[in-house]
Homo-oligomer: A and B are copies of this chain.
Amino acid sequence: MAVYTEVSDAELEGFLSGYSLGRPLSFKGVAEGVENSNYVLETETGRYILTLYERRVKAADLPYFLGLMEHLAEAGFPSARPVADHAGRTLGELAGRPAAIVAFLSGLSVKRPGVGHCREAGEGLAWLHQAGAGFAPRRENDLGQGAWVAMFETLAPRAEALKPGLAAQIGGDVAAIAAAWPRGLPQGVVHADWFPDNVFFRDGRFVGAIDFYFAANDQLAYDLGVALNAWCFEPDGSFNVTAGRALVEGYERRRKLTQAEKAALPALARGAALRFFLTRLADWRDERQGALVRPKDPLEYERKLAVHRAGLHLFEA
């Protein structure tokens, strides 16, 4: 996250008076992520993350996200559990923003995942997919494949401004992805943002995941597409097929992929690359800022799209 909204002393005190967490002992804004304002809150009863929801997160979606986090924690998946207030609500309001408190989850995210991390991240993702089964509420993936044509139409001029000729190239990607998009794969709750910063390790083992604010109901294997892009590319833009295979292998330790899912992975990964290219393009501003948080470079995903045009060769033919 980051800190977009400052919380006054009185606001914090008022908010905490609705919970049974004891008095606050420490309260520090965290410089991570780009979507919400997050604080590490220490009280007499423990450590928590207090999140104020900003910008892209729709308030109407928050009960889905928080309900999912509760469901996952109940199912034994290592994710942060939302804390209920005196009235049993996990969603409140603070400083004019929707806000929630979740238990603090320990663990380190890796910045340069190795093959072993990819295997663990794959297994953690399959665990999440299993734990999400039985979660009744539904949320359409509003950044899923159905949204990309319209997003591209709005953003084509920015793509062209970023790099001449890019609009036509991305237009080709949008059409190719639509034509190749799989239907009828196993559905469930997807995380939809399974990036290294959202996955925690200890001693190289998966120990938890955070940030369920893009979660939705979609084809499960789409999450592997997101993860292949996020975990298995080298800094120079090349795809590390060993890492990719480890990710899939780790996933299959917990949940076997169907043949149709395996066959669809290159298309899903290409689509996922398009999704992150488009949203990064929408967030991109030319100005460089001195301190984090800065927008993420859309060109990183343009390079990944170029790799996908040539095809991912994850499995032996």
Q: Does A8 contact B (CB under 8 A)?
A: yes
Q: Does A9 contact B (CB under 8 A)?
A: yes
Q: Secondary structure at chain A's binding surface: helix, strand, loop or mixed? A: loop
Residues on B with beta carbons closer than 8 Å to the beta carbon of A188: none
Residues on B with beta carbons closer than 8 Å to the beta carbon of A3: 31, 291-292
Residues on B with beta carbons closer than 8 Å to the beta carbon of A40: 28, 30, 40
Known: A8-B112, A9-B111, A10-B112. A26 touches B106 (CB 8 A): yes
Q: Does A287 contact B (CB under 8 A)?
A: yes
Known: A28-B32, A28-B40, A29-B30. A110 touches B9 (CB 8 A): yes
Q: Does A2 contact B (CB under 8 A)?
A: yes
Interface size of A by Cβ–Cβ distance < 8 Å?
A: 33
Residues on B with beta carbons closer than 8 Å to the beta carbon of A98: none
Query: Do the beta carbons of A289 and B292 come within 8 Å of each other?
Result: no
Q: Mark A18-35, 1 if CB is under 8 A from B, else 0.
A: 000001111111111000
Chain B, residue nearest A55 (CB): B290
Q: Mark A81-93, 1 if CB is under 8 A from B, else 0.
A: 0000000000000
Residues on B with beta carbons closer than 8 Å to the beta carbon of A30: 28-31, 40
Q: Does A142 contact B (CB under 8 A)?
A: no
Q: How far, in angstroms, from A133 to B28 measured CA to CA in the complex?
A: 31
Q: How many copies of this chain does one complex carry?
A: 2
Query: Do the beta carbons of A25 and B111 come within 8 Å of each other?
Result: no
Q: How far, in angstroms, from A261 to B76 measured CA to CA in the complex?
A: 63
Residues on B with beta carbons closer than 8 Å to the beta carbon of A27: 108
Query: Do the beta carbons of A4 and B292 come within 8 Å of each other?
Result: yes
Rounded to whole Å, the gap between the CB of A279 and the closest CB of chain B is: 16
Residues on B with beta carbons closer than 8 Å to the beta carbon of A4: 290-292
Q: How far, in angstroms, from A222 to B197 measured CA to CA in the complex?
A: 45
Residues on B with beta carbons closer than 8 Å to the beta carbon of A203: 23
Which of these, B26, B108, B289, contacts A26 with CB under 8 Å? Answer: B108
Chain A contacts to B: CB under 8 angstroms: 2-4, 6, 8-10, 23-32, 40, 42, 106-108, 110-112, 202-203, 287, 289-293
| New contact pairs (4) apart from A10-B112, A29-B32, A291-B293, CB-CB < 8 Å | A9-B111, A29-B292, A42-B106, A290-B293
